[in-house]
Amino acid sequence: MLLLVPVDGSLAGMDAVRHVWTLARQGLDVQVLLANVQDGPHLYEVVLAHDADLLAGASHDAGEHVLAPAMALLRSAKVPVRGEVLIGEPGHQLVDLAEREQCHGIVMGSQGVGLLGGARLGSVCQWVLLHASVPVTIVRHAAPDTD
């Protein structure tokens, strides 16, 4: 089973990775496609850099840096994993990637500001949930107890 797990460097993103890691350690036969979506270059960056390849390389390097901890965690459980760095609007990119790679599901963390059934969902989670053609699992970030 191939699962797409978006990672953005947030605690919620790593919660999703840990959830899949736990499932794999409990015996689920899973392969993971980690994805990080970087913003496209802003006009200011294009004007200053004058080099599209330089901007693309910087975005790719930043994405690889974000993916590294998730890759290491999954590899520690012997989970087959590969990473993909994409450029553009995150929701669209993730849904397109899941379809292109024929993923069986998407597992993503959320700590956004929208409300759905009492859970807080960010705009990317909401968009993916509404547009993905595969099951989407939302892993809620467990806030530390303050009692």
Q: What would the pLDDT profile of 134-144 be if each residue is shown by its tens digit? A: 999 999 876 65
Check pLDDT > 90 for residue 5.
Answer: yes
Check pLDDT > 80 for residue 121.
Answer: no
Q: Determine the Cα–Cα distance for residues 69 and 104; give it in Å rounded to an integer.
A: 23
Under the banding of pLDDT at 50, 70 and 90, the label for residue 128 is: very high
The 3-state DSSP composition of the chain as helix, strand, coil percent (nearest 5) reads: 45, 25, 30
Under the banding of pLDDT at 50, 70 and 90, the label for residue 110 is: confident
CATH class of the domain comprising 2-140? alpha beta
Phi then psi dihedrals of residue 88, to 5 deg = 135, -155
CB 106 within 8 A of CB 136: yes
| N-term to C-term CA, the chain | 40
Q: Determine the Cα–Cα distance for residues 108 and 138; give it in Å rounded to an integer.
A: 5
Q: Determine the Cα–Cα distance for residues 48 and 9; give it in Å rounded to an integer.
A: 26
Please name the amino acid found at residue 8.
D
Share of the chain above pLDDT 70, in %: 74
Q: Determine the Cα–Cα distance for residues 20 and 32; give it in Å rounded to an integer.
A: 8
Of 2-11, 37-46, 98-107, the range with the lowest mean pLDDT is: 37-46
Ranges of each domain in the chain: 2-140
CB 87 within 8 A of CB 59: yes
Mean pLDDT, the chain, integer: 83
Q: Determine the Cα–Cα distance for residues 107 and 54; give it in Å rounded to an integer.
A: 32
pLDDT digits (tens, 9 = 90+) for 42-88: 444 444 555 555 454 566 678 889 999 999 999 998 999 999 999 99
- Segment 93-103 mean pLDDT: 97
Give pLDDT, residue 41: 52
Of 19-23, 56-60, 69-73, 116-120, the range with the lowest mean pLDDT is: 116-120
Q: What residues are paired with 139 via a beta bridge?
A: 109
Check pLDDT > 60 for residue 113.
Answer: no
